[in-house]
Structure 1
Amino acid sequence: MRTFTQHTTQSTDWSLQQSADLYRIPAWGKGYFGINDLGHLTVHPKQDAPPPSLPPSSISPSVAAPSSAAIDLKELIDQLRSRDIHTPILLRFTDLLRERLAEIASAFQTAITENDYQSNYCAVYPVKVNQQRHVVEEVLGFCKQHNFGIEAGSKPELLAVLALVTDNDTPIICNGFKDDAFIEAVILASKIGRNIIPVVEKLSELRLIIRCAKKHNVRPRIGVRVKLATTAASKWEDSGGMRSKFGLFISELLDAIEILRSENMLDCLQLLHSHIGSQLSDSAQIKRAVNELARVYCELHKSGASMQLLDVGGGFGVDYDGSQSTAHSSINYTPQEYANNIIFHIKEACDAAQVPHPTIISESGRAMVAYSSVLVFDILGWSGFKRFPLPEATPKNLEDLIKPVQTLYETFAEINTDNYIEYYHDAQMNRDEALSLFNLGYGSLQERGLAEKLFFGICSKVLTIVKTLPDMPEEFANLEAMLADTYFINGSVFQSLPDSWAIEQMFPIAPIHRLDQEPTCRGKLVDITCDSDGRIEKFIDATGTKDVLELHTLTDDPYYIAVFLVGAYQEILGDLHNLFGDTNAVHVSLDDNNQVSIDEVVEGDTVSEVLRYVQYEPEELRRNMRRIIEQSIKNKKLTVNEGKALRLFYEQGLAGTTYLNPDSNT
């Protein structure tokens, strides 16, 4: 059993509201997440998390009213542990996914009604956002309730979708580059009655579609993607605009019309599509792009094409940091404003051109699934400069120490609010001098260690002083980050949070319990990979980002933190750095009595499975290891019992998870 020593005392007047404000839960949680009277984070599928300031009885997790039914994350993790399902765990909340799709559908229906729009709305789920079978099946089930559809952007995705969609009503949009086999599959699916539309990304695809359609005597519904002049200022801005790799230039679009006209297939062109970027943060960008796209649509209709569908693409973002701004990790609009902008501008363009209103399609994958997944890690341990035990008194042999260490003792004892800047500069100089003397052979290892402890002790005192100032001097801006504790998470950033590492995507992070206690530590998170990039060093803050996360001291009890809004892209983009595989994934819902139901447990990758990914055959490894052990016993390097223990460890290791067991006694 791991043992941690608690170094600080907790404040007794800390409130739940302070925790909610500190971690910005109401801002990014949008009513889906809250805190109960136990100080535990809760999930609210009905988007009705009560404010933490309510009396405890009104937010009790054990006697929750039907209107505020909640799932206690800490209790859920404890239940899973009792079933030998250990962290790291990806929790997927089925009810939250259902509610998110319903919220999007409701926003567009409201906009259609208020604007007297004379057609319909259909969201399609892009499989690339999360291709996990259980997720796709759940999305498809909920999509049927709203007449929504699905999008496939590659041959493997198309093969999966064709087998999962068993009716002729669900719209299937096919994006991405296509070869002959891809297009023939689409045409044949159309022939058996599937509601499937291939979107032309380049002119050569149109010719393939025409040839294949004639071969099988099918008049397919065809879509075409256009490159707009409008671009979006975001991390994904190159996925839209004139420089995007997908779609046709306007001149090519005109060529496509003439090709279809010459083949007597212009009536087959029924959908116009464009994509200006993912995670669009500014509603003004959406308005400009939709207006331009709608104008193109109207011109296509006037050209004689049987236009019926207008696909505004993806881009419907998620407010990861809760700032409701144009920051990359935020959005400055609500689902209702997003729907209003699209409906209004398409209607305005169509009415001006006297063109019938099209059915509007959006590929809102991120907005659909991001909220529904929460990743929970346990903390394996911590370290940090502030953990160093500092000298309580000046040693009797002070004069025997090298001069820089003597001065550091004096500085540590005498620093105050009047001299802290001067003494901080002195401490830096004396720390450097102590290191130089050590490197030249004039200082001992013990003296170097003392210089290190004293310097960081002085820095801690300086930080305490400058944090009381109305304006922190610029030279101390990075002091808190330098002194931050390191919390070791049982997981892999590369596997579970690749966007955090690759593009510095911000995700909300918070402890799932002890929120009724003041977090007295300031930490950064590092994973258990051997790569120095496996860390999280930026966290959401009311003013943008901060370099540390407020956390609690560790005790002998497990300490859990969670990363929220990870349902989009993170699972499928994860890699096998250090051969850490998929985590356990658990599907959770509330039954009719508001009781937690564990609907599905998808076990994470075993060591054997990830070894197979990189062409190691576990059976061969097992045989080789057995031969090595037997030879070692024969050579008397191991006893029979030792050989048996080593073989058992190896067998269990191959069959076990790639992550550490938090309940291990080792």
Structure 2
Amino acid sequence: MTDIPDAAAASRAWTIEDAEERYGLRAWGGGCFRVSDDGHLLVAPRGDDDPSAIIDLYEVVQGLDQRGLATPVLVRLPDLLRKRLGDIRSAFDDAIRGNEFRGGYSCVYPIKVNQQRQLVETIREIGAELGFGLEAGSKPELLAVLGLTRDQHATPIVCNGFKDDEYIETVVLAQKLGRVIYPVIESFGELERLLRHASRYGIRPRIGIRLKPSTAGVGKWAESGGERSKFGLHAPELLAALELLKSRGMADCLKLVHFHVGSQMCDIRQVKTAVSELARVYCELRRLGAGVEVIDIGGGLAVDYDGSNSTWASSMNYSLEEYANDVVYRIGAACNEAGQPHPLIISESGRAMVANSSILIFDILGRTRFRTDPGLAWARGLIAEEETEGRDVPQPVKDLVETWESLIGSPDIAESNLVEAFHDAQQAREEALNLFRLGYLSLPMRAVAERFYWAIGKRAVAISEERNDGGPLPDQLTDLPEHFSDIYFGNFSLFQSLPDSWAIDQVFPVVPLHRLDEKPTRRAIIADITCDSDGKIDRFACTDQRDYAPTLDVHELRVANDGTPTEPYLLGIFLVGAYQEVLGDLHNLFGDTHAVHVALDEDAGWRIDDVIEGDTVRDVLRYVQFNPDELRRSIRQEVEAAVRKNRMSVAESQSLLRFYESGLEGYTYLE
């Protein structure tokens, strides 16, 4: 019996359709991921529009290896990005036509979501075709955006964040340069500074104002919206700002009204409520004499990370099309009722724009597991030795053996009795551990107790799952699959490449890149190679209306006697294009991974357009103010001293120096 009972599949062969369902490819993949006949994970960047245009991710890794680039590696797929941006454009265009909306739509990319140059340049190029723009949330980001949009003066630029005099002066001068730029006022003081600099340079700025919405967000980012949000003006301050503009004869300069309710709006009801509120604010400002022409609904368009189409924090209970239709309809309806013109709608949907365009790929270095042996022969042998030597077998051990025998002898055991048996095993194990702590139980007998306890737990799960056809376990047993699962060690740093998994328990899809034509027979959590117990993934995407799955279904590693894999086992973590690269840190001095840009190619199927090599050890040491040359010199001096004292031969000293120098120039990950 395998560790993943599957009564439904037991009577038939495993298929690639089973694999696609097991890993939820169609649920979270947007039609862009599928499995080949030989079990490889494929990307179809154009989706159903061109299903023959595919990229085999396993082949990509092999190609990178031939080019001297080892895993871990971040694969960026600009064709996926192009499709996603096009889908957003199409959804809003359809909603505008369907609702007879007389305004327009533009999506601006907040570069804070991922500031990597190659990605932002790709968005700039595609966005120019689609009428999209960019958003800056700080002075450095503004300077980057201005430099990127040379000769693209029609590209809308939205400026958020705290603004000092230098930031505001840069915005004013950018407008004189001909840019379509909206400084969004976050506080009353910013408005006064903007008016001062506008007067100095003789321009009438396109002013945006951010409102604190009464509508709060949901999920992990609920506090980014609502009346206690970090940014924006309350309604009384908004009216005071309008009065100030009127007193300067500049009410017509108030062009944009904006708010932001949350980064990942998982429930469409909150979206509807928030948009309705902002639409009413727009209409009221127009009625009071403001020249508002743009509604910026901020971010919030969610990503269905787990594919459950639910209101869990890592999901969304709506489609892109529903989102666009609700936004356009509610703004249009409010304007029609108030007799106001339809505005240009802007969204700052950064997460939804780029999440699916990057994939982290890494290899598995090894695994640990709770070992059991058929019939528990090893444990029974230790019991026999105990009895042969004239010692009584401790009562907790006897209780565990009895519980095990009851499970083996009663395959039709009732669920209540199954739970009771496991509770008995828990109690007996705890009693055994207490005896060991007090010195009344030997180490061999403790080992026997633990081996029987593991076997009982795994047997209880197997019986329950076979009976429920792989469905949910009884509440009292739900933690057991995770508790008895394998630990697969991945060649990556969670803190560098997947910080949201650690910081906010964000769920990401994890899928093997190959062997998908084989049924997975193990359950595992994924541990990284940092020296930190938090460096693990134990929350996985699932589509069965649970918040997350505690383990991942994986294939048995093919290993040598020492546990070293005899062939690569590659996993991919998907939907990592938003925030993960820019939030990652140098925990344990694991640096940036290699990053490659892989695009469709008519002749070869796919091609590598760009390679950004990952950090070397020398690079990361410099980041934290070490001088690698001084470190090398220090080691050389110590080595020479060891040679003089005959603790090391000259040949050994040179081997160490070569290793040290090679290490400084090498990848920070295991090669």
Provide TM-score, normalisation by structure 2.
0.91
The Cα shift of 1:513 comes to: 0.9
Indicate conservation of the 8 Å contact 1:408/1:427, yes or no: yes
Structure 2 match to 1:53: none
The Cα shift of 1:424 comes to: 3.9
Could you tell me which of 59, 84, 89 is aligned with 1:105?
A: 89
Instruction: Supply the distance in 1 between the matched residues of 2:3 and 2:335 (Cα, whole angstroms).
Output: 67
Structure 1 match to 2:216: 231
Matched, 1:539 2:540: yes
Could you tell me which of 57, 81, 92 is aligned with 2:76?
A: 92
Q: Secondary structure at the match of 2:301?
A: coil
Instruction: Supply the distance in 2 between the matched residues of 1:420 and 1:101 (Cα, whole angstroms).
Output: 52
Deviates more, 1:347-356 or 1:373-382: 347-356
Structure 2 match to 1:329: 314
Q: Map residues 401-420 of structure 1 onto 2, 5 A cutoff.
A: 402-404=392-394, 405=397, 408-409=400-401, 411-413=403-405, 415-416=407-408, 417=410, 418=413
Could you tell me which of 143, 150, 171 is aligned with 1:186?
A: 171
Structure 1 pair 436/304, CA: closer, same or farther in 2 (3 Å)?
closer
Instruction: Supply the distance in 2 between the matched residues of 1:640 and 1:289 (Cα, whole angstroms).
Output: 73
Could you tell me which of 163, 175, 185 is aligned with 1:200?
A: 185
Instruction: Supply the distance in 1 between the matched residues of 2:575 and 2:568 (Cα, whole angstroms).
Output: 23
Q: Secondary structure at the match of 1:467?
A: helix
Could you tell me which of 238, 254, 258 is aligned with 2:239?
A: 254
Structure 1 match to 2:525: 524
Structure 1 match to 2:114: 130
AA aligned to 1:374 is I
Q: Secondary structure at the match of 1:48?
A: helix
Structure 1 match to 2:131: 147
Indicate conservation of the 8 Å contact 1:46/1:68, yes or no: no
The Cα shift of 1:442 comes to: 4.1
Indicate conservation of the 8 Å contact 2:279/2:335, yes or no: yes
Matched, 1:618 2:618: no
Instruction: Supply the distance in 1 between the matched residues of 2:420 and 2:117 (Cα, whole angstroms).
Output: 62
Matched, 1:608 2:618: yes
Q: Secondary structure at the match of 1:468?
A: helix
Q: Map residues 331-370 of structure 1 onto 2, 5 A cutoff.
A: 331-370=316-355
Structure 1 pair 302/406, CA: closer, same or farther in 2 (3 Å)?
closer
Structure 1 match to 2:561: none
Indicate conservation of the 8 Å contact 2:308/2:315, yes or no: yes
Q: Map residues 51-450 of structure 1 onto 2, 5 A cutoff.
A: 67-166=51-150, 167-386=152-371, 391-392=376-377, 394-395=380-381, 396-399=384-387, 400=389, 402-404=392-394, 405=397, 408-409=400-401, 411-413=403-405, 415-416=407-408, 417=410, 418=413, 423-450=421-448
The Cα shift of 1:407 comes to: 5.3
Structure 1 pair 563/72, CA: closer, same or farther in 2 (3 Å)?
same
The Cα shift of 1:337 comes to: 1.1
Structure 1 match to 2:27: 27
- Could you report, residue by residue, the CA deviation over 1:173-202 in whole angstroms, capped at 9, with x for unpaired residues? 100010011111111111111221111000
Structure 2 match to 1:38: 38
Structure 1 pair 227/410, CA: closer, same or farther in 2 (3 Å)?
closer
Q: Map residues 505-516 of structure 1 onto 2, 5 A cutoff.
A: 505-516=506-517
Structure 2 match to 1:552: 555
Structure 2 match to 1:55: none
Indicate conservation of the 8 Å contact 1:240/1:277, yes or no: yes
Instruction: Supply the distance in 1 between the matched residues of 2:262 and 2:304 (Cα, whole angstroms).
Output: 16
Instruction: Supply the distance in 2 between the matched residues of 1:245 and 1:427 (Cα, whole angstroms).
Output: 51
The Cα shift of 1:344 comes to: 1.0
Instruction: Supply the distance in 2 between the matched residues of 1:261 and 1:168 (Cα, whole angstroms).
Output: 29
Q: Secondary structure at the match of 1:386?
A: coil
The Cα shift of 1:282 comes to: 1.5
Instruction: Supply the distance in 2 between the matched residues of 1:162 and 1:170 (Cα, whole angstroms).
Output: 10
Instruction: Supply the distance in 2 between the matched residues of 1:174 and 1:422 (Cα, whole angstroms).
Output: 61
Q: Secondary structure at the match of 2:302?
A: coil
Q: Secondary structure at the match of 2:280?
A: helix
Structure 1 pair 422/96, CA: closer, same or farther in 2 (3 Å)?
closer
Could you tell me which of 533, 539, 563 is aligned with 2:573?
A: 563
The Cα shift of 1:494 comes to: 1.1
Deviates more, 1:408-417 or 1:180-189: 408-417
AA aligned to 2:80 is L
Q: Secondary structure at the match of 1:271?
A: strand
AA aligned to 1:23 is Y
Q: What are structure 1's unaligned runs of at least 5 residues?
A: 1-5, 50-65, 662-666
Deviates more, 1:569-578 or 1:439-448: 439-448
AA aligned to 2:42 is T
Indicate conservation of the 8 Å contact 1:428/1:455, yes or no: yes
Indicate conservation of the 8 Å contact 2:419/2:476, yes or no: no
Q: Secondary structure at the match of 1:298?
A: helix
Structure 2 match to 1:463: 461
Instruction: Supply the distance in 1 between the matched residues of 2:376 and 2:434 (Cα, whole angstroms).
Output: 22
Structure 1 pair 171/388, CA: closer, same or farther in 2 (3 Å)?
farther
Q: Secondary structure at the match of 2:284?
A: helix
Indicate conservation of the 8 Å contact 1:69/1:594, yes or no: no
AA aligned to 2:256 is L
Structure 1 pair 344/440, CA: closer, same or farther in 2 (3 Å)?
closer
Give the number of aligned pairs. 640
Structure 1 pair 7/298, CA: closer, same or farther in 2 (3 Å)?
closer
Instruction: Supply the distance in 2 between the matched residues of 1:129 and 1:31 (Cα, whole angstroms).
Output: 24
Q: What are structure 2's unaligned runs of at least 5 residues?
A: 559-565
Instruction: Supply the distance in 1 between the matched residues of 2:295 and 2:332 (Cα, whole angstroms).
Output: 12
The Cα shift of 1:421 comes to: 5.2
The Cα shift of 1:379 comes to: 0.6
The Cα shift of 1:232 comes to: 2.1
Q: Secondary structure at the match of 2:315?
A: coil
Structure 1 pair 452/136, CA: closer, same or farther in 2 (3 Å)?
same
Indicate conservation of the 8 Å contact 1:234/1:279, yes or no: yes
Instruction: Supply the distance in 2 between the matched residues of 1:434 and 1:225 (Cα, whole angstroms).
Output: 63
Instruction: Supply the distance in 2 between the matched residues of 1:453 and 1:24 (Cα, whole angstroms).
Output: 34
Instruction: Supply the distance in 2 between the matched residues of 1:268 and 1:281 (Cα, whole angstroms).
Output: 35
Structure 2 match to 1:61: none
The Cα shift of 1:438 comes to: 3.4
The Cα shift of 1:644 comes to: 1.1
- Could you report, residue by residue, the CA deviation over 1:187-222 in whole angstroms, capped at 9, with x for unpaired residues? 111111122111100010011111111112222211
Instruction: Supply the distance in 1 between the matched residues of 2:589 and 2:29 (Cα, whole angstroms).
Output: 33
Instruction: Supply the distance in 2 between the matched residues of 1:45 and 1:78 (Cα, whole angstroms).
Output: 20
- Could you report, residue by residue, the CA deviation over 1:505-527 in whole angstroms, capped at 9, with x for unpaired residues? 11111111111111110111111
Structure 1 pair 248/176, CA: closer, same or farther in 2 (3 Å)?
same
Q: What RMSD, in angstroms, separates the aligned Cα atoms of the two structures?
A: 2.2
Structure 1 pair 228/565, CA: closer, same or farther in 2 (3 Å)?
same
Could you tell me which of 449, 452, 459 is aligned with 1:451?
A: 449
Structure 2 match to 1:595: 605
Structure 2 match to 1:56: none
Instruction: Supply the distance in 2 between the matched residues of 1:69 and 1:657 (Cα, whole angstroms).
Output: 33
AA aligned to 1:488 is F
Instruction: Supply the distance in 1 between the matched residues of 2:214 and 2:474 (Cα, whole angstroms).
Output: 45
Instruction: Supply the distance in 2 between the matched residues of 1:421 and 1:314 (Cα, whole angstroms).
Output: 46
AA aligned to 2:545 is T
The Cα shift of 1:461 comes to: 2.2
